[in-house]
């Protein structure tokens, strides 16, 4: 049985047409689900009772459960229990421009990035589209506030769950869905090159972020298993093609690991690799966890690295830190969860 929250408006239109109904009923359903936030189909009063009963047989309306919320000054972390008793986490951040959410895309992760806590649990399964959409709906319901931007950057590699992620983006971007602007949706990938080309052809207009984290293959091979399959040269070629095709700037994410990738030589080599590309570099102060050996670069080192990139004409920012006190920061999800 399909879950209603995993269906795009186009899929619902096809459902109604094949059931001898007008396709505009899909629009009505979307308005109930995402604008009126109505969870009970019996309250969809502009649909005939007979049709509502039929939909109950064809669609599930179930959602994951929020089982814990941890709070920091500008951050909240939500732990969800899925129907199969697996767990995922989402994080929201309060900004002066609105509320952003970092959603998970998988239970566990197979990318095996050595510095990332989320990948210690191997991939159990992909999240279904409805399980990703539900993260937004349930948190908005808890906050009684609207989420204005989305980053697909939580547990899992989004491009390893490609079809569900594309459907998720279409549902939340739909004007009658959650109506989140396409420029306010960011997908982060560790570098699945063929999927970057697939994404390019979707013509979605979302923001793409590449988790690079090293200036050369020697260092990246040590910290990111994916580089053994798609090396930096292949990855950056795909990024150049993506930029040329979409005319969109790409973010290069670079986590600062003490004594690993944070010296001036690394900065110079990184600048050489990125020279002439329509990118900007986001330097990420490492968020230490209770299981992994990597340490955070000190403030002076990060500042010098940033300065070197600027001197070499690379657009660069240092990411503001959110949520480290509740293990909700980048790379920390699941770092304290017993048995997960």
E strands in the chain: 2-3, 59-60, 65-71, 75-81, 87-95, 98-103, 106-107, 125-126, 149-152, 185-189, 207-211, 250-256, 279-285, 316-318
For 44-71, the three-class secondary structure string (H helix, E strand, C coil) is CCCCCHHHHHHHHHHEECCCCEEEEEEE
If phi over 0 gives left and psi between -120 and 50 gives alpha, with beta otherwise, what is residue 120?
Answer: alpha
Size of the chain in residues: 340
Q: How far apart are CA 20 and CA 4, in angstroms?
A: 19
First to last CA, the chain: 28
Residue of 89, 128, 131, 157 marked active site: 89
Cβ within 8 Å of residue 47, ≥6 positions away = 25, 28, 29, 41, 55
The 8-class DSSP code of residue 204 comes to -
Q: How far apart are CA 319 and CA 43, in angstroms?
A: 44
Torsion of CA 199, 203, 207, 212, to 10 degrees: 30
Residue of 117, 306, 330, 337 marked active site: 330
Per the CB < 8 A criterion, the answer to whether 74 and 93 are in contact is yes
* CB atoms near residue 68 (< 10 Å): 12
Q: Is residue 330 annotated as part of the catalytic site, yes or no? A: yes
| Residues forming the active site | 89, 330
């Amino acid at each position: 049985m399909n879950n209603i929250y995993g269906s795009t408006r186009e899929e619902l239109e096809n459902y109604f047409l094949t059931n001898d109904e007008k396709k505009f009923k899909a629009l009505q359903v979307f308005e109930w689900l995402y604008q009126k936030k109505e969870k009970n189909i019996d309250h969809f009063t502009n649909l005939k009772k007979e049709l509502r009963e039929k939909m109950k047989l064809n669609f599930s309306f179930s959602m994951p459960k929020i089982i814990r919320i941890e709070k920091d000054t500008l951050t909240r972390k939500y732990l969800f229990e899925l129907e199969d008793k697996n767990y995922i986490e989402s994080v929201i951040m309060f900004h002066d421009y609105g509320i952003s959410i970092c959603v998970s895309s998988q239970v566990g992760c197979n990318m095996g990035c050595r510095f990332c806590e989320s990948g210690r649990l191997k991939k159990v399964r992909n999240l279904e589209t409805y399980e990703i959409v539900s993260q937004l709906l349930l948190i908005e319901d808890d906050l009684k506030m609207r989420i204005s931007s989305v980053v697909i950057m939580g547990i899992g590699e989004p491009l390893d769950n490609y079809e569900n992620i594309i459907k998720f983006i279409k549902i939340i971007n739909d004007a009658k869905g959650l109506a989140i602007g396409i420029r306010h949706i960011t997908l982060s990938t560790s570098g699945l090159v063929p999927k970057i080309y697939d994404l390019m052809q979707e013509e979605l207009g979302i923001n793409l972020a590449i988790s690079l984290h090293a200036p050369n293959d020697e260092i990246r091979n040590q910290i990111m298993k994916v580089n053994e399959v798609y090396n930096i040269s292949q990855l950056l070629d795909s990024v150049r093609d993506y930029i040329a095709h979409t005319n969109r700037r790409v973010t290069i994410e670079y986590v600062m690991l003490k004594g690993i990738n944070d010296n001036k030589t690394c900065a110079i080599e990184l600048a050489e690799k990125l020279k002439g590309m329509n990118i900007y570099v986001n330097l990420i102060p490492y968020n230490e966890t209770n299981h992994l050996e990597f340490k955070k670069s000190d403030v002076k080192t990060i500042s010098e690295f940033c300065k070197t990139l600027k001197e070499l004409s690379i657009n660069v920012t240092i990411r503001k830190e959110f949520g480290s006190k509740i293990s909700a920061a980048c790379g920390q999800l699941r770092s304290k969860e017993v048995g997960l």
